[in-house]
Amino acid sequence: MTDFELTRRRLIQVGGGAAAASLMVTAESALGQARGVSAAGQPMPEGVELPDAPPRQRRSDSVGFAIIGLGDYALKQIMPRFDQSERAHIAALVSGNPRKLREVGEAYGIPPESRYSYDSFADIAADNGVEAAYVVLPSGLHAEWTERAFAAGKHVMCEKPMALSSEECERMIAASNRANRKLMIAYRCHFEPYNLKAVELMEAEAVGDLRLIRTEHSYRMGPTTPAENWRVSRALAGGGPLEDYGIYGLQAALYLSGEMPERISAATHRPIGDQRFAEIFAHVSVQCRFPSGAAAHLVTSYDSAGLNMVETRGTSGALMMQPATNYSGNTLTLEAGREKHDLSPGNSNVQFARQLDHLADAIRGGTPIRTPGEMGLRDVRLIEAIYASAATGRTIMLNPDGTMRS
């Protein structure tokens, strides 16, 4: 059994091939309802620069978004980028902090009647100016607020990780189907020029046959406790760095290989006596093997000097990205034989607005969503397999949909 305390345990079967096919072990499954967490107002994050003038709405058929959760990422990255969007605008705000709600509402030109608290959120159903909700809350609240948004008849953009358990993800997809509304996971790298170029190069076999992927997403978190920072609270962040940051490496391994792993083994570490890691892991290290025979080594940490890196190695070359999945400043180098080419496929900054426009297109034109709920579910299943491996010391065999083979 892992040292990771469990909210609720479920019995699963994991197999290391035929010999271990019926080994029964327990694995963690933190269900949202069982966690007892709820949305609560927080202070204005430090360093927020509110706009001098509200962003423009470019087209009459632009899709109105409600922003649920006015935290660091919403206020510093997402909301300012609506100005670059062709087909999406901010139509409502949802926050538990009345003062922040007023200040942000005034700066973004959102009228008082379109500013909601968590308690008054259900009223948004009657707000015809709002067609979509962007859930930018702590990860442990994604499932609940996505379901609430569907209940109010809105489409949903949900931040990563989709949720903290595959059961929650399945509920979110079912709610989307019941409401006949779109569900998109905000995996921004699917709209980021350097990552898109890397996928194009991999598909064109620019490195030959893929052999190895290495990713690292790490930084050193300052002193903190679960009571003061949701990122180190198990109920709101799951296992910690993997769901929050390592998920970029997991995603990259999948979109660069174009494959699903067929086996996973992993190790976690949680130092004793460090309040940052009283409830979450400090490091997670994962080995994947793909059906082609290619391997991936993924590392993520909240306790080592910062690195954001993705590398693929094939039989005739390599792709190096460092940083690989940042908001801006990503790099891409193609190494072929003795030659190295630094590529500049565009401005990373466009990823945010493109992501917003993509959901707006899907809502208006019925176009398929590149990063649907099913992708978020797939990734959460892999995260569950990673923790199951770390908990048991076993290699986990996987089905193509990411579920664990019994």
| Sole window of 68-76, 217-225, 304-312, 374-382 interacting with ligand NAD (rule: CB under 6 A) | 68-76
Residue type, 389: S
Q: Binding-site residue total for ligand NAD (CB under 6 A)?
A: 23
Site string for ligand NAD, 183-222 (x = CB under 6 A): ---x-x----------------------------------
- Nearest 5°: the CA angle 146, 152, 154 is 65
Q: Is 136 in the site for ligand NAD (CB under 6 A)?
A: yes
| Binding-site member from 6, 20, 31, 42 for ligand NAD (CB under 6 A) | 42
Nearest distance, CB of residue 131 and ligand NAD, angstroms: 21
CB 133 within 8 A of CB 156: yes
Q: Is 288 helix (H, G, I), strand (E, B) or coil?
A: strand
Q: Is 241 in the site for ligand NAD (CB under 6 A)?
A: no
Indicate the helix (H) or strand (E) that contains 203.
Answer: helix 193-203
Q: Which is nearer to ligand NAD, 74 or 207 (CB)?
A: 74
Phi first, then psi: what are they for 133, rounded to 5°?
Answer: -120, 135
Q: Is 402 in the site for ligand NAD (CB under 6 A)?
A: no
* Token digits of residue 163: 């949720």
d(CA 180, CA 194) in angstroms, rounded, equals 34
Q: Which is nearer to ligand NAD, 248 or 290 (CB)?
A: 248
Q: Which is nearer to ligand NAD, 188 or 270 (CB)?
A: 188
Nearest distance, CB of residue 382 and ligand NAD, angstroms: 17
CB 319 within 8 A of CB 312: yes
Nearest to 334 by CA among 320, 350, 345: 320
Give residue number: closest CB to ligand NAD. 71
Q: Is 178 helix (H, G, I), strand (E, B) or coil?
A: helix
d(CA 377, CA 386) in angstroms, rounded, equals 14
Nearest distance, CB of residue 392 and ligand NAD, angstroms: 27
| Binding-site member from 147, 159, 192, 384 for ligand NAD (CB under 6 A) | 159
Nearest distance, CB of residue 129 and ligand NAD, angstroms: 22
Q: Which is nearer to ligand NAD, 42 or 287 (CB)?
A: 42
d(CA 218, CA 236) in angstroms, rounded, equals 19
Place of tokens 């327990």: 26
248 is catalytic: yes
d(CA 232, CA 224) in angstroms, rounded, equals 8
Q: Which residues bind ligand NAD (CB under 6 A)?
A: 39-40, 42, 45, 69-74, 95-96, 136-139, 141, 159-160, 186, 188, 230, 244
Catalytic residues: 160, 248
